[in-house]
Each structure stands twice: as C-alpha cells, then as structure tokens.
Structure 1
C-alpha cells in the first residue's frame, strides 16, 4: 500500500500537471484500468482511453485547479483534496477522493460536487 506521503505527492503532481497543461503528466498518475467518476452520481468512465479523453478535454478547456486546503492522506489506500476548478466563465468547488493501488497509481477517482458548488 502506498504511504500517506506518496499519495499526497501524487495528488500534488495531479494539480501541478493540470495547471501546467500537461495532460500526459495527469493521466500517467492513473492505472490503465482506473475508474473516474465526475461527479459522483454520473456513470463511471473506465480505462485508459476514457481517462485520456476526459482529462484532455478538461485541460483544453483551460481548467485550472487551486487547493482550498492541504491535501489529506489516510490510514488506508485513499487520499482527498478540496479545491476549486476555474474554467472561463465558471468556478466549481470540488472534493476529489482518490483510491490508490499497491503500485501507487490512482485506481479510482471520485469527484464530489453538486449544483450548489458551481458559480458562474
């Protein structure tokens, strides 16, 4: 199981990759068979092609992430972060919960946000 420090470092690399527009840096943090649910309640996106497309679209839309609090670890295989996504004309307050595999790759990402968390 990855350590708390490894999980936090991976989530910081996720934010940094996103903000530098490096889709490959972000998607490379995920296992090939990872699942992304954004937002929770939507159907899951599964596998490398779906994840590459999802993050490619988000980065090309000009999305930037700013942490609202320090990244949180756990006593298990999950870490979470509260942040704001800013895209032209909109801001969304989000909490992502990531589950990690033994190799330190993200195997599941769940984005928690709802209609009340969107500002235009």
Structure 2
C-alpha cells in the first residue's frame, strides 16, 4: 500500500507551487516519464521535457494564484484527486478556473500521470 499521507501532501504542495509560480518546484514533483493531459481530451504530453515546456509556456507567462477548494482525496493504490481554483486573466479578463486534478503516483511518490478536468464552463469572470 502506498503512503496516502505522502500523496495528500504532494498534491497539496502542487497547488502551493502553482500559487507561487514555482515551475521548477512543480517539475520536481513529476517522474521523468510522466504523462500530463491538461485539460482531459487535449493531446497528452509525455516526458519531463514536454511537461516543462507546457508549464513554462503557460503558467510561466501568466500571473496566477491558486488554492484548494476542497479536501484532497487519496486511494490506497497511489491515486488522488483534488478540486482547486486558479485565479488569472483569461483573454484580458480577470477569471477563476475551477479544476479537478486526478494524479497517479509511482513508488517514489512522484507524479506519473496528471489529468486536469476543466472546460470553458468552468471559467467564471471575476470583478476587477
């Protein structure tokens, strides 16, 4: 059985690192051969180089804040899910993006798969 508390802490840490804009910190959570699908349905990004490019070209060029909006849920077999919100500017407008990330972890507690569930219906405009 995997360490469920470790997974819970790593997932919460992921949101903290997104909030801080710490791309290197985010990347350190991933396995070298990880796969990211953000959002689900987009082409999968495989390997740390592709994942690094995704974060540097997205998060690295935006001013965002992030916070958990509910508890992290963890299974005993190395998987977890969490709801969180990312506040940012979308098409020049202040918006909040409501996301659920589902992650699978390897035996060393590194993310081997991340799927982000969100779409246009999950973006809401915020007052300035």
User: TM class, shorter-chain normalised?
Assistant: over 0.9
TM-score, length-scaled by structure 1 = 0.92
- RMSD after superposition: 1.3
**1:107 aligned residue (84, 94, 112):** 112
Find the aligned partners of 1:20 and 1:113 in 2 and give their Cα distance: 21
CA–CA distance in structure 1, aligned partners of residues 64 and 45 of structure 2: 19
Match of 1:49 in 2: 49
- 2:80 matched to which residue of 1? 79
The runs of at least 4 consecutive aligned structure 1 residues that moved more than 2 Å come to none
Once the two structures are overlaid, the 10-residue window that deviates more, 50-59 or 67-76, is 50-59
Find the residue that maps to 2:33 and give its secondary structure. Answer: strand
For these two proteins, the number of residue pairs brought into alignment is: 120
Contact kept in structure 2, 1:37 and 1:110, CA below 8 Å: yes
Unmatched segments (≥5 aa) in structure 2: none
Superposed displacement of residue 91, structure 1 = 1.4
> Displacement of 1:49 after TM fit?
1.1
- Please state how far the C-alpha of 1:59 moved relative to its aligned partner: 3.6
- Taking the aligned partners of 1:118 and 1:14, their CA distance within structure 2 comes to 20
Give, in whole Å, the separation in 2 of the partners of 1:64 and 1:86.
5
The 8 Å contact of residues 12 and 68 in structure 2, kept in 1 or not, is answered as: no
Note the residue ranges of structure 1 that are not aligned, 5 or more in a row: none
CA deviation digits over 1:89-115, x for unaligned, max 9? 221111000000111100000001122
The answer as to whether partners of 2:2 and 2:76 remain within 8 angstroms in 1 is: no
Structure possessing the higher radius of gyration over alpha carbons = 2
